[in-house]
Structure 1
Amino acid sequence: MGNNTSITSIQTNAQANAKQASKFYTDAVANRRMNMQRMQNRLLIWLDNNIDENNADCNNTIKQLKRVVNNVNTFTEGEQCVEFIQTITNNKVCMVVSGSLGKHIMPHVHDLSQVDTIFIFCNNKKWHKKWVKPWSKIKGVFTDITSICEALKQVAHQCEQNATSISFVASNKKLDQLDPSFMYTQILKEILLTINFEDKHFNQFITYCRDKYEDDENELKNVHQLQTTYKNNIPIWWYT
């Protein structure tokens, strides 16, 4: 009788733990989807009266920006830019504004609810840093596109952090008794949020996959699809 009671108790606890793990997984997936949606709902506007999409330097700048925020819109006139922003209903806007237009356009865009973050792109950092102080949405003055992309990554990172779920553990719970999948998830999350990922790493991964599945036609098709469509989505999309 005692053994039967013990077995029943173990089964009950196992079922309870399974339900709890299932709920944790469901909540985690839901949060990752919310995270993905928040990133997809962010677009970038580059406003500069010297933009020429036939120019190699401009094209290179746009490509670099798209590596951080896939949805990039360019404008050469402030009025058209403002009109476009006012039509946006479901997106948050990051703006990269040239120094020559920044001071003029700021009163027209700064208080728009759609505008979340603004970066000034100029040649004279010292001068422009003086007038930007009253405008709280301006997060920096930059003289090169690489620095702007790094700042945009920080914005994207903060967006991911804000959407990251937090799990509370009772103070009397021994950490070494936590479900291993929970701890692995936390470790993986830390890695994904801190890794310095570059194109060369992606290319190395594609090469590895091609070697790994060289005899599997179906998997090679998946590898090819990943290689050709990866940059069409934000990185977090591929983890959901």
Structure 2
Amino acid sequence: NNRFTERNRCPADIEKNLEYITLIWLDENIDDSNESVQMQRLLYKMNNYVLLYTDPHLCIDYIKTIVDENIILIICASLHELVLPIIHSLNTVRAVFLTCNDHLKLTSVCSEYPKVAAICTDQQQLIKSIHGTIQSMSNQTMSFTLFDSNKQNSTRDSASILWYRLLIDILKTLPHTDQSKNEMLDKCAEFYRFNEAELQKIDMFRTSYTASKAIEWYTSECFLYKLLNKALRTEDIDLLYVFRFYIIDLYSQLELEHHKQFRINNNWDKLIVAISWASNFKR
């Protein structure tokens, strides 16, 4: 399928977003013209997961189904009165960008709807504004823990610790083979099939990865960090199983580093805490 011609897709027909940010462009005038395609290319350069709608009702239906993603929504001025009252209060909608020819006509919208991040009159302004929002959202998810390290006694935190301990115990019993490695990489390649930069990194991992480089790969800006963090945050057991080859390598390397850095003896820290620690390398 050509991603530049896929518009107005029903929720049931849309593949799962394995990352955290969904970028949606809603405009009645999206078509196959060079101008529309160029805009789509710019959006895909900023975010791997982009959906296009000319039908506001289908767009709203899709947004209402989202649970575990952050939505950035671009809306043309002619549709904002229909869409904003319905979607603005949804927790998953993080930022809205309005496109128009005269921003003065929409100045009151920002005060009425605080999630409207910008009113843009040209493409360059829009792309720059969206890029800044994506970077900010990515930084917010960079250092991730499921619980506050100072409040680890709550029932929920204790349950999370137990869940991840059991996860690691189970994953460590599974075969660590080229087959499990290729299963993971094939899944990643399928999701990033239109993203040449990520596909190159996937090929590099396939040919040069060793277990001793697990942390190095995690702390680089690539598919592993994005997809694994999403799976861990949402406790997506199916995707975590797909990543079993890499999770065990990463856990083992982080455990070694914890022993070196903090002299932790016989401490069965859960994987997610170690990953939060590793994230500090990215800062």
| Smaller-chain TM-score bracket | 0.5 to 0.7
Alignment match, 2:222 = 237
Q: Which has the higher contact order (CA 8 A, sep 6+)?
A: 1
Query: Cα gap change, 1:163/1:146 in structure 2, threshold over 3 Å: closer, same or farther?
Result: same
Give CA deviations for 1:39-95 in whole Å, capped at 9, x if unaligned: 92101111111111x111000001011111121111112111110111222211100
Alignment match, 1:82 = 60
Give CA deviations for 1:106-144 in whole Å, capped at 9, x if unaligned: 101111222111000111111112233210110010011
The residue type equivalent to 1:150 in the other structure is K
Alignment match, 1:111 = 89
Alignment match, 2:25 = 46
Task: Please give the alpha-carbon distance, in whole angstroms, between the structure 2 residues aligned to 1:232 and 1:135.
Answer: 38
Query: Cα gap change, 1:111/1:232 in structure 2, threshold over 3 Å: closer, same or farther?
Result: farther
What are the equivalent positions in structure 2 for 1:52-131 lying under 5 Å apart?
52=31, 54-131=32-109
The residue type equivalent to 1:81 in the other structure is C
Query: Cα gap change, 1:51/1:232 in structure 2, threshold over 3 Å: closer, same or farther?
Result: farther
**Counterpart contact for 1:67–1:231, Cα < 8 Å:** no
Task: Please give the alpha-carbon distance, in whole angstroms, between the structure 2 residues aligned to 1:117 and 1:89.
Answer: 16
**Counterpart contact for 1:68–1:153, Cα < 8 Å:** yes
Unaligned runs of 5+ in 1: 1-37, 167-227
What are the equivalent positions in structure 2 for 1:16-35 lying under 5 Å apart?
none
Task: Please give the alpha-carbon distance, in whole angstroms, between the structure 1 residues aligned to 2:118 and 2:134.
Answer: 15
**Counterpart contact for 2:110–2:117, Cα < 8 Å:** no
Task: Please give the alpha-carbon distance, in whole angstroms, between the structure 1 residues aligned to 2:58 and 2:85.
Answer: 15
- What is the deviation of 1:103? 2.1
Q: TM-score, normalised by structure 1?
A: 0.53
Unaligned runs of 5+ in 2: 1-16, 145-194, 202-219, 226-283
What are the equivalent positions in structure 2 for 1:157-172 lying under 5 Å apart?
157-165=135-143
- What is the deviation of 1:149? 1.4
Task: Please give the alpha-carbon distance, in whole angstroms, between the structure 2 residues aligned to 1:109 and 1:150.
Answer: 24
- What is the deviation of 1:153? 1.5
Task: Please give the alpha-carbon distance, in whole angstroms, between the structure 2 residues aligned to 1:92 and 1:156.
Answer: 10
Q: TM-score, normalised by structure 2?
A: 0.45
Query: Cα gap change, 1:140/1:127 in structure 2, threshold over 3 Å: closer, same or farther?
Result: same
- What is the deviation of 1:155? 1.3
Task: Please give the alpha-carbon distance, in whole angstroms, between the structure 2 residues aligned to 1:71 and 1:152.
Answer: 14
Q: Secondary structure at the match of 1:90?
A: coil
**Counterpart contact for 1:103–1:131, Cα < 8 Å:** no
Q: Secondary structure at the match of 1:132?
A: helix
Task: Please give the alpha-carbon distance, in whole angstroms, between the structure 2 residues aligned to 1:85 and 1:119.
Answer: 15
* Alignment coverage as a number of residue pairs: 141
Alignment match, 2:151 = none
Q: Report the structure number with the largest CA radius of gyration.
A: 1
Q: Secondary structure at the match of 2:111?
A: coil
**Counterpart contact for 1:39–1:159, Cα < 8 Å:** no
The residue type equivalent to 1:40 in the other structure is E
Alignment match, 2:155 = none
Task: Please give the alpha-carbon distance, in whole angstroms, between the structure 2 residues aligned to 1:44 and 1:150.
Answer: 14
Name the Cα RMSD after superposition: 2.7
Give CA deviations for 1:177-222 in whole Å, capped at 9, x if unaligned: xxxxxxxxxxxxxxxxxxxxxxxxxxxxxxxxxxxxxxxxxxxxxx
Task: Please give the alpha-carbon distance, in whole angstroms, between the structure 2 residues aligned to 1:233 and 1:99.
Answer: 38
Task: Please give the alpha-carbon distance, in whole angstroms, between the structure 1 residues aligned to 2:44 and 2:124.
Answer: 12
**Counterpart contact for 1:70–1:232, Cα < 8 Å:** no
